[in-house]
C-alpha cells in the first residue's frame, strides 16, 4: 500500500490528498491542533499532531511531502525530526519539498527558469534557499532523491479575489513593470501527482501557469466577471500597505514552466488566471455562495 506522510499538511497538500485517497492511498498529515486534526479526519487523512514521535509513521511511509515553511530558526521539520528522518528516510520512494519562486529574487520583469542563480532579496526568500539546501543535504545523507517544487503565487477555493471585490475592499495597486506568476492549487496537485507517478532521480521544477501578469489586471478581471465596477487604481508609492504586502512588490519576474511540462508531462488545467478565476466563480455559484 502507498502511504504519503505529509509534513505541514496545509492548503496545497490538502488539494493533493483527495487524488491519492481515491486511488487507495493512505495519507498521514501533521497538524498543530486537535481542531485541525478533526478536520483532517473528516477528509480521510490520518492526523499526526506536530511534535509527536514520527518514527512509526515514517516507517509506514512510501512517499514524503514537506510543505512547512522555514523561519529564522531554519526548516522546522528538519529541526524537529531531523534525526528520525536521517535514520528512517532511506526506504522512501519519493520525497518532495514545496519551495517558492521567491528564491530567484528580483529580475525587473525578466524571465527566469530553474537554471537562474538564486538571489533572493527578501528574508523569506533567503530562508527558502537555506531550507532547500538543508533538505538536499539530508536527502543525500539518507540516499534518496529530492524533488523540489518552486511554487508561484497560489490561488484557488477560498483564496480568490472575489470576496474582497464584492466587499469593496479590493485594490488595484499599480507599480509600472510589476508582474507576478501564479498557479491554481489544483494544478499544484496535478504536478505533484505527476512527479509521484514518474519517480526518478529528483530535480527542481518551477510550478506556475503560462501567463505572468500585473496584479491589478487580475483584480480588474475578477470585477468584470462579477459584473461590478473595477476598483480604482492606486499608485504603489501612495498605497497604504503592511510591510509584508509591500515586500511582495520588491520582486518582479516572469517564471518559465517548460521543465514541469516537458519532464513530468503536465498539462495545466488552468493555464492562466482568466481560466482559473472563471472556474472558481462557477464553483461558487454551483455551491450557491
**pLDDT, tens only, 70-87:** 999 999 999 999 999 999
What does the pLDDT read at residue 208?
98
Residue 193 located in a structural domain: yes
What does the pLDDT read at residue 145?
96
Percent of the chain exceeding pLDDT 90 equals 95
Q: In this predicted structure, which of 19-28, 79-88, 95-104, 244-253 has the lowest mean pLDDT?
A: 244-253
Q: In this predicted structure, which of 150-154, 165-169, 262-266 has the lowest mean pLDDT?
A: 165-169
What does the pLDDT read at residue 289?
67
Residue 23 located in a structural domain: yes
CATH number where 38 lies: 3.40.50.720
Residue span of the structural domain in which 69 resides = 3-155+182-210+254-270
Q: How many domains does the chain have?
A: 1
What does the pLDDT read at residue 248?
87
Residue 162 located in a structural domain: no
Cell of 260: 514541469
Q: What band does 227 get if pLDDT is binned at 50, 70 and 90?
A: very high
Residue 150 located in a structural domain: yes
Beta strands in the chain (DSSP E): 3-7, 26-31, 46-49, 63-66, 94-100, 111-112, 147-151, 153-155, 172-174, 182-184, 203-207, 233-235, 254-255
Residue 33 located in a structural domain: yes
Residue 222 located in a structural domain: no
Residues 6+ apart with CB under 8 A from 221: 273, 274, 277
pTM passes above 0.95: yes
Residue 285 located in a structural domain: no
pLDDT per residue as tens digits for the range 44-73: 999 999 999 999 999 999 999 999 999 999
**Residue 12: C-alpha distances to residues 56, 103, 154, 185 (Å):** 24, 19, 9, 6
Residue 21 located in a structural domain: yes
Amino acid at each position: 500500500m502507498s502511504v504519503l506522510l505529509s509534513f505541514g499538511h496545509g492548503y496545497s497538500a490538502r488539494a493533493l490528498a483527495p487524488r491519492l485517497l481515491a486511488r487507495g492511498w493512505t495519507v498521514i498529515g501533521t497538524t498543530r491542533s486537535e481542531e485541525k486534526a478533526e478536520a483532517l479526519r473528516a477528509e480521510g487523512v490520518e492526523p499526526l499532531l506536530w511534535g509527536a514521535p514520527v518514527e512509526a509513521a515514517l516507517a509506514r511511509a512510501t512517499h514524503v511531502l514537506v510543505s512547512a515553511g522555514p523561519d529564522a530558526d531554519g526548516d522546522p521539520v528538519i529541526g524537529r525530526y531531523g534525526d528520525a528522518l536521517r535514520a528512517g528516510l532511506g526506504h522512501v520512494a519519493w520525497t518532495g519539498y514545496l519551495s517558492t519562486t521567491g528564491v530567484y529574487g528580483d529580475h525587473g520583469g525578466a524571465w527566469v527558469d530553474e537554471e537562474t542563480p538564486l538571489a533572493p532579496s527578501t528574508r523569506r526568500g533567503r530562508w527558502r534557499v537555506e531550507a532547500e539546501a538543508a533538505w538536499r543535504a539530508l536527502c543525500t545523507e539518507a540516499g534518496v532523491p529530492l524533488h523540489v517544487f518552486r511554487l508561484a503565487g497560489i490561488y484557488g477555493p477560498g483564496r480568490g479575489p472575489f470576496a474582497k471585490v464584492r466587499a469593496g475592499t479590493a485594490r488595484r495597486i499599480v507599480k509600472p513593470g510589476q508582474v507576478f506568476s501564479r498557479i491554481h492549487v489544483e494544478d499544484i496537485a496535478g504536478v505533484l501527482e505527476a512527479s509521484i507517478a514518474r519517480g526518478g532521480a529528483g530535480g527542481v521544477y518551477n510550478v506556475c501557469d503560462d501567463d505572468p501578469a500585473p496584479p491589478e489586471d487580475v483584480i480588474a478581471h475578477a470585477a468584470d466577471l462579477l459584473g461590478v465596477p473595477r476598483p480604482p487604481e492606486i499608485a504603489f508609492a501612495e498605497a497604504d500597505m503592511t510591510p509584508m504586502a509591500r515586500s511582495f512588490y520588491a520582486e518582479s519576474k516572469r517564471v518559465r514552466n517548460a521543465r514541469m511540462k516537458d519532464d513530468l508531462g503536465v498539462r495545466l488545467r488552468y493555464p492562466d488566471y482568466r481560466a482559473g478565476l472563471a472556474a472558481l466563480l462557477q464553483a461558487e455559484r454551483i455551491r450557491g455562495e
